[in-house]
Structure 1
C-alpha cells in the first residue's frame, strides 16, 4: 500500500511540475524577426553599403576585399546554404559567411554577433563551425599542402 501511495505522489508531483513549467514566450524573438521583415536592415544593408561606398571599412569589417569574399562565397555556398521552410526563411549563405568571418576576424562573442546580425546566438553557435568546416573542405587542397589530420573536420 505504501508503494502505491508513493508512486501516486510521484506521479502527481511530476504532473504539477509539467504544468508549472515556464512556457516559451516566442518562437522567434521579435527583434530577430525583423531580419526577415526587412532584409534591407543591418547586416545585408551594411554589407552592401560598405561594399559600394566604403571599400576600406568593408575590408575592415570582413577582413577581405569584396572580390575575395565573393570568390570564397562561391566556393562554399553549396555547402552552407539552407532551404527556406513554410515557417521561416533561412539565413542566406552570404550572411552565414559574413557572420563566420566577423567571428574569426574579431573573436566577438556569439551573443554580441547575434545583436549585430539579428540572428540568435544558439543559431550562430551552429553556423560558425559549419561554415568553418565548409571553408576547410573547399580550400584544403588548394591552400593546405601539409599533412593535416582530416578526422577533426569529418
Structure 2
C-alpha cells in the first residue's frame, strides 16, 4: 500500500493512454513469454576435498547433446543451449498454435590445480555432475618470510 501511495501516476482520474497500454502489455506478456532468468538457470553447488572438486549444476529441460564442457587455464566453462518447440493441434490434427524458444547459457568457474586428463562428467535427469580430481603436483607451499 505504501508503494501505491508513492506512485504519482496512481490517481483515480489517470486514464491516460500510457497507463492503458502498459497494463495491456503486462497482462499479455507476463504469462505468455516467461523465459527463465539467469538466476534461475545453472544453479551450482561446488564441494572440495583434499583430492577433488565436485561441481553439481541443475540444468532442467536441457538435452545432453546441447551441453558443452571445457577446462583450460584453471577455468571450467559450462555452456548449455535450450531449444523448445511446442505445437497445439485441434481434434482434426490442424495446427492452432506453435511456439519456439531458444536460449543459451554459460558459466565459468575458477578451479585451480586440476588433473585435466582425469575429469569426468555425468548427466542424469537434469543434473550435471562434474568430478575434477586435483593434480598430485599441486600442493600448498608455505612461504617463510625473512
More helix by share: 1
More strand by share: 2
Q: Which has the larger radius of gyration?
A: 2
- By the TM > 0.5 criterion, same fold? no
TM-score bracket for the superposition, by shorter chain length: under 0.3
